[in-house]
Amino acid sequence: MASSVIIDSLKKAHILELLADGKRLDGRSLEQTRELSIDVGVIPKAEGSARVRLGDTEVVAGVKVKPEKPFPDTGDQGMLICTAEILPIAHPTAETGPPTPDVVELARVTDRGIRESKMLDMKQLVLEKDKSVIGVFCDNAVTDHDGNLFDVCSYATTAALISCKLPKYEMQDDLPVKIENETIDPPITTIPISVTMARIGDNILVDPNMDEWSCLDARITITTNSDGNVVALQKGGPGGFTYDQLIKCAEISIQVGSKIREIMKEATKGSN
């Protein structure tokens, strides 16, 4: 662990002092997220892409599409695989080499949030049942890390998928052939939005930055869909939550989630 990332005692003391007054070091209220910006189409050669900035955290996501053989038990559905990687440029402690458990968790939580929300209607991504389906890959690359990678990767993936253009394929002699210059809009059914909260003492903070992440007792990421239903949950951190805290977190994630959903719609407007 690089010595630069240990939080200093003055800062930690400040964070706790301010929380006693319901305030945060960067001036936000407990339920306020940092400034969010979503830009789509930043990698024009990919089928879909988005760059999301939440405060100083930044992620670039790219969507690549190609025909695949379906999984044996789901021959009537397309394939969706989401990954996440913390690039070594993103943080002094980010390493190259096989992913650490933190990174594996990030990738799997991102993938689950998108998959379980059923945001893409996979049944519409079949070219020939049991033989050939459309495989959609969304890869997230974290380029700058200032805490809360779960939400930023989730927003980047969602924005890239909503705004992507799927190539059109036709089956010719049992093989999928790409039709040049023709695309289809992705079959989007809902817009999942994740909200990550940290518990520090008895306080619940939305969108913890790196400093707050370093002194949290526990954290939870809750993903809701456009109907306000909960579609994914992940608790992390060394401490626990009480029942009341978990109810409060769910309420916050629905409220904050719907505000962010409006930002997402605005950013991807006009794409699909």
Partner 1 sequence: MSNERGRHVIPGEVITSGNYRSEQNTFMEGDKIISTVIGLSDIRDDGVRVIPLTGGYIPKDDDLVIGKVVSHSAMSWLVNINSCYDGMLPASDVFGRDFSSHSDDLTSKLDTGDLIAARIVNSDRTRDPLLTISGRELGKIDSGELMHISPSKVPRLIGKRGSMIQMIENATNANITIGQNGLLIITADDSNGLIKAINAIQLIEEKAHVANLTDKINEMLESKSE
Partner 2 sequence: MGGRDTNIVLLDENGIRSDGRKVNETRKVTIKAGVLKNANGSAYIEFGDNKILVGVYGPRDVHPKHMSDTSTGILRCRYHMTPFSVGDRKNPAPSRREIEISKVIKEALLPAVILKGFPRTAVDVYMEVLQADGGTRCAALTGASVALADAGIPMRDLVAGCAAGKAADTVILDVNNEEDQAGQADLPIGYMPNLEKITLLQLDGLLTPEEYKECLEIGIDGCKQVYEIQKKALQEKYFSTGDDKNG
The interface partner of residue 11, options being partner 2, partner 1, none and the CB cut-off 5 to 8 Å by kind, is partner 1
The residue within the footprint of partner 1, chosen from 8, 21, 227, 244 (CB under 8 A), is: 8
Q: Are strands 166-172 and 132-144 parallel, antiparallel or unpaired?
A: unpaired
DSSP output for 97-130:
SSPPHHHHHHHHHHHHHHHHTT-B-GGGGEEETT
The least CB distance from residue 21 to partner 2, in Å, is 28
Which residues, numbered 38-57, are part of the site for partner 2 (CB under 8 A)?
A: 42-46, 49, 56
The pair of structure tokens assigned to 57 is 């955290």
Which residue's CB is nearer to partner 1, number 1 or number 180?
1
CA distance 23 to 5: 23
Which residues, numbered 146-175, are part of the site for partner 2 (CB under 8 A)?
A: 146
Choose the binding region for partner 2 from 136-144, 173-181, 225-233, 258-266 (rule: CB under 8 A). 136-144
The least CB distance from residue 180 to partner 2, in Å, is 12
CA distance 55 to 147: 9
Choose the binding region for partner 2 from 139-147, 215-223, 248-256, 257-265 (rule: CB under 8 A). 139-147
In the chain, count H helices and then E strands: 5, 12
The least CB distance from residue 7 to partner 1, in Å, is 6
The least CB distance from residue 26 to partner 2, in Å, is 14
Alpha helices in the chain (DSSP H): 9-20, 101-116, 149-162, 210-214, 243-268
**Contact residues: partner 1, CB under 8 A:** 3-4, 6-12
